[in-house]
Amino acid sequence: MRLRLVKDDLNWDFFSKSILWLGISGVMVIVALGSFFVQGLNYGIDFKGGTTIRTESAQAVDVGAYRDALAALGLGDTVISEVFDPNFRDDQHVAMVRIGAQDDAEAVSAETLQAAEDALKAVSPDIKFVSVESVGPKVSGELIQTAAVAVALAIGAVLVYIWLRFEWQFALGAVIALIHDVALTIGIFSELQIKFDLAIIAALLTIVGYSLNDTVVVFDRVRENLIKYKTKDLKEVLNMSINETMSRTIMTSLTTLLALIALLVLGGDVIRGFVFAMTWGVIVGTYSSIFVASAILLRLGVKRDWSKPADTPGTQFGDVDA
The band of 318, judged by pLDDT with boundaries at 50, 70 and 90, is: very low
pLDDT of res. 35: 92
Average pLDDT in the chain: 80
pLDDT of res. 315: 46
Is CATH 3.30.470.10 the right assignment for the domain spanning 18-42+139-300? no
Closest CA to 113 of 81, 70, 144: 70
For the stretch 102-152, pLDDT in tens is: 665 556 677 778 888 888 888 888 888 888 877 665 555 677 788 788 888
For the stretch 170-201, pLDDT in tens is: 888 888 988 899 999 999 999 988 888 888 88
Cβ pair 218, 289 in contact under 8 A: yes
For the stretch 209-246, pLDDT in tens is: 888 888 888 888 888 888 888 778 888 888 888 888 88
Instruction: Report CA torsion sign: 16, 22, 28, 31.
Output: negative
Which part of the chain has CATH 3.30.70.2040?
50-135
For the stretch 54-101, pLDDT in tens is: 888 888 888 888 888 888 777 777 778 777 777 778 888 888 888 776
Inform me whether the pLDDT recorded for 15 exceeds 90. Answer: no
φ, ψ of residue 83 in degrees (nearest 5): -100, 130
Beta strands 42-43 and 195-196 are: parallel
Which part of the chain has CATH 1.20.1640.10?
18-42+139-300
Q: Looking at the domain 50-135, which fold is it?
A: Alpha-Beta Plaits (3.30.70)
